[in-house]
Protein backbone atom coordinates (compact mmCIF):
# COMPACT_ATOMS: atom_id res chain seq x y z
CA UNK A 1 0.00 0.00 0.00
CA UNK A 2 1.39 3.39 -0.95
CA UNK A 3 0.51 6.26 1.37
CA UNK A 4 -0.65 9.62 -0.04
CA UNK A 5 1.66 12.61 0.29
CA UNK A 6 -1.08 15.15 1.07
CA UNK A 7 -4.58 15.35 2.49
CA UNK A 8 -7.25 18.05 2.43
CA UNK A 9 -5.52 20.28 -0.11
CA UNK A 10 -7.71 19.53 -3.14
CA UNK A 11 -10.55 17.52 -1.57
CA UNK A 12 -12.01 16.98 1.88
CA UNK A 13 -11.76 13.19 1.73
CA UNK A 14 -10.29 10.97 4.45
CA UNK A 15 -7.20 8.90 3.66
CA UNK A 16 -5.96 5.60 5.06
CA UNK A 17 -2.33 5.49 6.23
CA UNK A 18 -0.23 2.37 6.66
CA UNK A 19 2.15 3.17 9.51
CA UNK A 20 5.56 1.49 9.36
CA UNK A 21 8.93 1.70 11.14
CA UNK A 22 10.00 4.32 8.57
CA UNK A 23 9.06 7.94 9.33
CA UNK A 24 6.56 9.17 6.76
CA UNK A 25 5.09 12.64 6.30
CA UNK A 26 1.81 13.85 4.87
CA UNK A 27 1.31 17.51 3.94
CA UNK A 28 -1.85 19.24 5.16
CA UNK A 29 -3.70 22.48 4.52
CA UNK A 30 -2.81 24.89 7.35
CA UNK A 31 -6.34 26.34 7.29
CA UNK A 32 -7.96 23.01 8.14
CA UNK A 33 -8.46 20.95 11.24
CA UNK A 34 -8.00 17.17 11.05
CA UNK A 35 -9.01 14.05 12.93
CA UNK A 36 -6.25 11.46 13.12
CA UNK A 37 -7.59 8.08 14.23
CA UNK A 38 -5.72 4.90 15.17
CA UNK A 39 -7.77 2.17 13.46
CA UNK A 40 -6.59 -0.68 15.76
CA UNK A 41 -6.09 -2.94 12.73
CA UNK A 42 -3.34 -3.54 10.20
CA UNK A 43 -3.75 -3.65 6.42
CA UNK A 44 -4.73 -7.35 6.61
CA UNK A 45 -7.53 -6.62 9.09
CA UNK A 46 -5.69 -8.13 12.06
CA UNK A 47 -5.69 -6.43 15.46
CA UNK A 48 -2.90 -3.86 15.78
CA UNK A 49 -2.71 -2.07 19.12
CA UNK A 50 0.80 -0.69 18.56
CA UNK A 51 1.28 2.98 19.43
CA UNK A 52 1.86 5.48 16.63
CA UNK A 53 4.27 8.34 17.25
CA UNK A 54 3.05 11.55 15.60
CA UNK A 55 4.65 14.96 15.12
CA UNK A 56 3.66 18.22 13.48
CA UNK A 57 5.37 20.83 11.29
CA UNK A 58 8.64 18.98 10.64
CA UNK A 59 9.31 17.80 14.21
CA UNK A 60 10.67 14.25 14.49
CA UNK A 61 8.06 11.82 15.89
CA UNK A 62 8.89 9.85 19.04
CA UNK A 63 7.04 7.97 21.77
CA UNK A 64 7.68 10.91 24.10
CA UNK A 65 4.78 13.33 23.68
CA UNK A 66 4.76 17.07 24.29
CA UNK A 67 5.35 20.21 22.28
CA UNK A 68 4.89 19.28 18.61
CA UNK A 69 4.59 15.56 19.33
CA UNK A 70 1.89 13.11 20.40
CA UNK A 71 1.40 9.38 20.84
CA UNK A 72 -1.68 7.88 19.22
CA UNK A 73 -2.77 4.72 21.04
CA UNK A 74 -5.11 1.91 20.02
CA UNK A 75 -8.47 3.30 18.78
CA UNK A 76 -7.63 6.84 19.94
CA UNK A 77 -8.59 9.97 18.03
CA UNK A 78 -6.42 13.08 17.93
CA UNK A 79 -7.66 16.49 16.74
CA UNK A 80 -4.94 18.61 15.09
CA UNK A 81 -4.86 22.03 13.47
CA UNK A 82 -5.58 24.42 12.08
CA UNK A 83 -2.07 25.78 11.61
CA UNK A 84 -0.40 22.42 10.88
CA UNK A 85 1.48 22.18 7.56
CA UNK A 86 2.52 18.53 7.87
CA UNK A 87 2.04 15.45 10.02
CA UNK A 88 4.82 12.88 10.41
CA UNK A 89 4.17 9.42 11.82
CA UNK A 90 5.98 6.18 12.64
CA UNK A 91 5.31 2.88 14.45
CA UNK A 92 7.98 1.30 16.61
CA UNK A 93 6.52 -2.19 16.14
CA UNK A 94 3.81 -3.69 13.95
CA UNK A 95 2.03 -2.14 10.99
CA UNK A 96 -1.04 -0.35 12.37
CA UNK A 97 -3.24 1.77 10.15
CA UNK A 98 -4.59 5.24 10.79
CA UNK A 99 -7.16 7.43 9.09
CA UNK A 100 -6.77 11.17 8.69
CA UNK A 101 -9.85 13.21 7.86
CA UNK A 102 -10.19 16.94 7.19
CA UNK A 103 -13.10 18.18 9.32
CA UNK A 104 -12.96 21.97 9.45
CA UNK A 105 -11.76 24.78 7.20
CA UNK A 106 -11.51 28.02 9.17
CA UNK A 107 -12.03 30.12 6.03
CA UNK A 108 -14.99 28.23 4.52
CA UNK A 109 -16.95 26.53 7.33
Q: Is 31 domain-assigned? A: yes
Alpha carbon distance 68, 48 (integer Å): 25
CB under 8 Å to 83, separation ≥6 — which residues? 30
Which residue range is the domain that position 84 belongs to? Answer: 6-105
Q: Is 53 domain-assigned? A: yes
Q: What pLDDT does residue 105 have?
A: 72
- pTM for the complete prediction? 0.87
Q: Is 48 domain-assigned? A: yes
Q: What pLDDT does residue 10 have?
A: 78
- Asked if 8 contacts 80 with a C-beta cutoff of 8 angstroms, the reply is no
At 100-109, the pLDDT tens digits run 999 877 666 5
Q: Is 1 domain-assigned? A: no
Q: Is 29 domain-assigned? A: yes
Please count the structural domains in the chain: 1
Q: What pLDDT does residue 77 have?
A: 95
- Is the peptide bond preceding residue 82 cis, with omega within 30 degrees of 0? yes
Alpha carbon distance 74, 67 (integer Å): 21
Q: What pLDDT does residue 108 have?
A: 67
Q: What pLDDT does residue 54 have?
A: 94
Residues in the chain with pLDDT < 50?
none
Please report, for the domain that includes residue 97, its CATH number. 2.60.120.770
Q: Is 52 domain-assigned? A: yes
Q: Is 32 domain-assigned? A: yes
Q: Is 66 domain-assigned? A: yes
Q: What pLDDT does residue 71 have?
A: 92
Amino acid sequence: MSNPTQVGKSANLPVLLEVTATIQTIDTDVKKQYLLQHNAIDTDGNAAADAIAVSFNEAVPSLISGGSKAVLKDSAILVVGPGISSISYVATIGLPTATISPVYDRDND
